[in-house]
Amino acid sequence: MNETNDNPQSRSNFIVEIIEQDLKTGKWGGRVATRFPPEPNGYLHIGHAKAICLSFGLAQKYGGTCNLRFDDTNPTKEDAEYVESIKEDVSWLGFDWGDRMFFASDYFKTMHEYAVKLIEDGKAYVDSLSAEETAAYRGDYNRPGKNSPHRDRSVEENLDLFSRMKNGEFEDGEHLLRAKIDMTSPNMNMRDPAIYRIRHASHHRTGDEWCIYPMYDWAHGLEDSIEQITHSLCTLEFENHRPLYDWFLEQLDVYHPQQIEFARLNLSYTVMSKRKLLDLVSDDLVNGWDDPRMPTISGFRRRGYTAAAIRNFCDRIGVAKRDNTVDLALLEHTIREDLNETSPRVMAVLDPLKIVIENYPEGEQEEFEAPYFPGQEERGTRAIPFSREIFVERDDFREEAPRKWRRLAPGKEVRLRYACLITCNEVIKDENGEVTELRCTWDPESRGGTSPDGRKVRGTLHWVNASTAVMTEVRQYDRLFNVINPLAVEDGHSFVEHINHSSCEILTGCLAEPSLAGAKPESRFQFERIGYFCVDRYDSTDDKLVFNRTITLRDSWAKIEKKLGGK
RNA sequence: UGGGGCGUAGGCUAACGGUAGGCCCCGGGUUUUUGGUACCCGUAAUUGCAGGUUCGAAUCCUGCCGCCCCAGCCA
């Protein structure tokens, strides 16, 4: 199908079908108006990215609009800090809400007026049961609920009580405004749901103006209605709320959007609930919401993921109603795919092993020109210095070469990427038998990497010149959990036990080629033969570069080695 | 036990009564100055199960089974 690389909602799904049907019948007058309505009580994660790409993507696709709306109806859990982070994340992801940023709290007055209307119509009442009593009266799945003794209060009494609730005459929990629906409904949400509760709490936007706050079910449909939303997309757990959503809007006889539910995203090797993520943060198991191992949007950003890769991922996972767990490998594939196209190639040695090229004159130095994108020289090149002392990756040398080994070993010849051919003559060790240095010779005729006699050299190593290398710190990140589903734990155990304790390995003595000096925060590179790395947006300075490993390159040698070792 | 949803290869997802397609993963190969990329090939689904309707069923019907959600004055 139309598999354009970065096309929001390019593929068909049941929501697209509904919208196209509506467009055909003119149900909404040809309009498509969606919204992304987070509660500002935490940071956005990759699951939210799915919702964002869906709602904003659909609006884009059909020339409609998508509002950014903060569902800030519970002041005790919310904070302005979260509002800011959400705005930053949505816009970083590449979506523009224009002048359509709204807050549920903008509508508090209107919502209150509607509540008064509902009371006047005899469809809502003030209850004065305690929370415990309310729960008991509600019944359970098998037993119908019982009407509250306060259910038949007169409209006048309800109006009076409600206005006194609003005026702050009561303590939290003393009274509750409820819709008068049906205490015997098999749908618990219809058993006289709460509409307004008393909360003497200061709101991050309205301050102390209110001491009663609307409940989600009351607020959400009204917000959608006020904003003239056409398709109100939310996750599956709200399916049971739809009858209530519809009931309120019908009773009020106001503009009535269609709520449509889709399955939330689950990702293997990670947890997605805000609650669990908050646990990780507050228990210091990670370094904040934007720790590069977190599945938050800000975490992925800091890790080096691109917005385009995340959007592409969201497009590829599709939208349906069945519960799903998407393979982390798919996300890793989309980021590799993007970075492969966009990241300049450079060389850095993470675990340096010194090489002295014995037949290279001391005190001399020359340069090789290397392309940032091999095969696409027009995208730029830089000079790489070369001299008698260089460093290669310690792991690229074996004193005893295993089968199929193409890299360095005593007596073996390899190519230094973009430079020349060298042969290992001697291995120098310290008193512990640890290899400290390799003595090699180079073939001056092989400048550029090929020899005139055309002999084949299979191995190519990345390397860096000793005297000009830039010392850097590299943080190697890996998946945060060891198991596909960290939540699958036995009673008495916690998902925390599945944390991968080597998910963050900090290397301090890494050496990078000099062109990397002064690399800007958030710039991304491929360290050839290793992986993709991103300059940390907070900790990296001109004096001390800090790189985060976004993702490794595919490593087919690791597979071969594993196979060899396994036999 | 009541209500609401959902079951298509290892993971996502398409097919809208016409005989199961795509992506990821996995395996093999070609090219290669990244054991990367690209390209080629391949494995793998009696569409949860059992019946029925039909010339024809993943699609319609019936009955089972399994999984998810719901008893906040959270969203």
**Domain boundaries along the sequence of chain A:** 1-263, 268-303+470-567, 348-465
Contact predicate A126/A165, CB 8 Å: yes
Q: Find where tokens 């190697």 sit.
A: A476
Range A193-201 average pLDDT:
98
CA closest to C1' of B73 belongs to: A197
Instruction: Tell me the C-alpha distance between A518 and A520, whole Å.
Output: 6
Which residues of chain A (298-337) touch nucleic strand B at CB < 7 A? 316-327, 329-330, 332-333, 336-337
Question: Looking at domain A1-263, which CATH architecture does it have?
Answer: 3-Layer(aba) Sandwich (3.40)
Range A533-558 average pLDDT:
97
| A424/B27 CA-to-C1' distance in Å | 35
How do the residues of chain A divide into helix, strand and coil, expressed in percent and rounded to 5? 30, 25, 45
Range A432-457 average pLDDT:
94
pLDDT at A435: 97
A74: which 2 tokens? Answer: 């519970």
When comparing pLDDT for A10 and A67, which is higher? A67
Q: What would the DSSP string read from start to end of A55-102?
A: HHHHHHHTT-EEEEEE----TTT--HHHHHHHHHHHHHTT---TT-EE
Whether A9 CB is under 7 Å from strand B: no
The mean pLDDT of chain A is 96
pLDDT tens digits along A203-247 = 999 999 999 999 999 999 999 999 999 999 999 999 999 999 999
Nucleotides on chain B within 7 angstroms of protein Cβ:
1-8, 10-16, 22-28, 33-38, 67-75
pLDDT tens digits along A298-335 = 999 999 999 999 999 999 999 999 999 999 999 999 99
Which residues of chain A (467-526) touch nucleic strand B at CB < 7 A? 526
pLDDT at A9: 64
Range A385-405 average pLDDT:
96
Its pTM stands at 0.96
Number of neighbouring beta carbons within 10 Å of residue A537: 17
Question: Looking at domain A348-465, which CATH architecture does it have?
Answer: Beta Barrel (2.40)
Instruction: Tell me the C-alpha distance between A480 and A486, whole Å.
Output: 10
Q: N- to C-terminal Cα distance for chain A? A: 43
- The share of chain A scoring above pLDDT 70, in percent, equals 98
Q: If pLDDT is split at 50, 70 and 90, which confidence band does A11 have?
A: confident
pLDDT at A344: 98
pLDDT tens digits along A121-146 = 999 999 999 999 999 999 999 999 99
Range A340-357 average pLDDT:
98
CA closest to C1' of B15 belongs to: A12
Whether A197 CB is under 7 Å from strand B: yes
pLDDT at A208: 98
Same fold, A1-263 and A268-303+470-567: no
pLDDT at A492: 83
Question: Looking at domain A268-303+470-567, which CATH architecture does it have?
Answer: Beta Barrel (2.40)
Q: If pLDDT is split at 50, 70 and 90, which confidence band does A8 have?
A: low
Q: If pLDDT is split at 50, 70 and 90, which confidence band does A491 have?
A: confident
Burial of A411 (0-12, 13-18, 19+ CB in 10 A): exposed
Return the active site residues of A. 39, 264, 274
Contact predicate A213/A16, CB 8 Å: no
Q: If pLDDT is split at 50, 70 and 90, which confidence band does A490 have?
A: confident
Nearest to A92 by CA among A299, A393, A247, A293: A299
